[in-house]
Copies of this chain bind each other. A is one copy, B any other.
Amino acid sequence: MRERELPTTLRFMLAARRSELLGLEDLAQTCELVTRLSRLVHALQKERGYSNIYLSGNAPHHRAQLDVLSLEVDAALREVREGFARIDLDAIGGPDKTRLFTRIAYALHGLDELPALRRRIREHRLSMHEATASLIRLIGSLLAVVFEAADTAADPETTRSLVALFNFMQGKELAGQERAIGVAGFAGGHFEPDKLERLEQLWEAQERCFATFCRFAGPDALALWQALLESDAGSQACRMREVARRAGPDNSFSADLCELWFELHTRRMDAMKHVETRLEQDLLQRCGESIGRIRKDLLSHRKLLDGLADMHAAAEQARLFSVQASDLDAPPADGMTSMVARSTLELLQNQTQRMQVLRDELDDARRALDERKQVERAKQTLMRDRQLSESEAYAALRKAAMDQGLSIEDVARRLLALSEQHEALIRPRARH
């Protein structure tokens, strides 16, 4: 029986399942792209690290090493560009693409600027601080693509994997920023108070990212992470933190520590990459499993609906031959019709219930992303309203959380609610 001939109810049920499958297939492509982005981010973090080392001294072997790393970035970048090229920009489905595509455009623009940035680094026409800031922005634009992918995914299991991966990538990026600030501090022989404050923030923010990762990651990735924490790679870098912490502005130290700090942190980040690779595999596997499940469901669903449609047609046929039948006052539903109706209802109830469970699980995973967004918004509100720097705004949130015994997320939520009420009070929203 062709689909056109199915009763409308059954057609909508089938279209709902097909839409789910299409959404997942589209998501699978995005996930594949995300794994390429993760490799590019890792390579860029390495290039940023060596750029700093290169800018801190002037040894020729650093230049050669940097050139090798740039080539590695270029290889990862080609993969990413290939991934972008595979996206069919004309076959755009839901409205969600708006945000994903804008994030991709932003990232692409930053990547176009990379050659110029590299030249200025090699010619020492940039300070370590400027070079780091540029590469933080670039990596941030790539992470924003991963965030958007997680925020628009509709399959809960895949979303959980994406939330775990995004938070791990973000935590690792904060570890990279920690490495950069440490290199600058140790190379300069001391840490300014604002640098130390920033390091404290980075440590705490890493904790929060990895805590969220732990909530959403699968058992294999968790086991790898646990092993890392207990390994030399994990612990030695953290012991170096104590050295930095004790090194105030007056308490200068040998610049040799710079290479040690860099070395240990690089080892830690490389070890993190292994966990990340596991997360990527989990992601692709879960997404593949979900697709397999839905495909199988769709097939058996299709068969069930066809069976129902046949019964429905037979019932209609039977009614045609029924003597009592009239258009004005049809007889009560006969056995066949009501059996079809009951079976349809049962299927519908299954589908609705399943949808509700999926929706609840999805809401749960998305809430972790929403909390991040609220902290970001609260930070920006503080920066705008009180003319604070990003770091000062974050410090203010952290202090408020500690003073009130709340989480940073709770403080952010309350602050935003207050500032919305305030805005509504002083600047009534124009409606048009």
Contact = CB atoms under 8 A, between A and B. Distances in A.
Contact of A377 (B9, B94, B360): B360
B16 A289 contact: no
A431 interface: yes
Secondary structure call for the A interface: helix
Nearest to A100: B16
Contact of A102 (B13, B81, B98): B13
A155 B94 CA distance: 12
A13 B101 contact: yes
Contacts of A98: 16-17, 19-20, 23, 154, 355
B115 A330 contact: yes
Interface in A235-288: none
A218 interface: yes
Interface string A63-94: 00000000000000000010011000110111
Contacts of A10: 105
Nearest to A122: B329
Contacts of A104: 12
A12 B360 contact: no
A227 interface: no
Nearest to A13: B105
A7 to B, nearest CB: 8
Interface in A5-37: 8-13, 15-20, 22-24, 26-27
A219 interface: yes
B344 A119 contact: no
Interface in A341-358: 341, 344-345, 348, 351-352, 355
Contacts of A203: none
Nearest to A215: B424
Contacts of A351: 102, 105
A299 interface: no
Contacts of A218: 431
A194 interface: no
Given A102-B355, A115-B330, A355-B102, A345 B109 contact: yes
A22 B92 contact: yes
A130 interface: no
Contacts of A341: 109, 112-113
Given A12-B108, A359-B99, A92 B19 contact: yes
Contacts of A89: 11-12, 15
A16 B148 CA distance: 13
Contacts of A120: 332
A363 B373 contact: yes
Contact of A95 (B11, B12, B19, B344): B19
18 contacts: A8-B81, A11-B89, A12-B104, A13-B105, A16-B98, A16-B99, A18-B92, A22-B92, A22-B95, A24-B95, A102-B351, A102-B355, A105-B348, A119-B330, A120-B332, A218-B431, A289-B432, A363-B373
Interface of A: 8-13, 15-20, 22-24, 26-27, 81, 84-85, 89-90, 92-106, 108-109, 112-113, 115-116, 119-120, 154-155, 218-219, 289, 329-330, 332-333, 341, 344-345, 348, 351-352, 355, 359-360, 363-364, 370, 373, 377, 420, 431-432
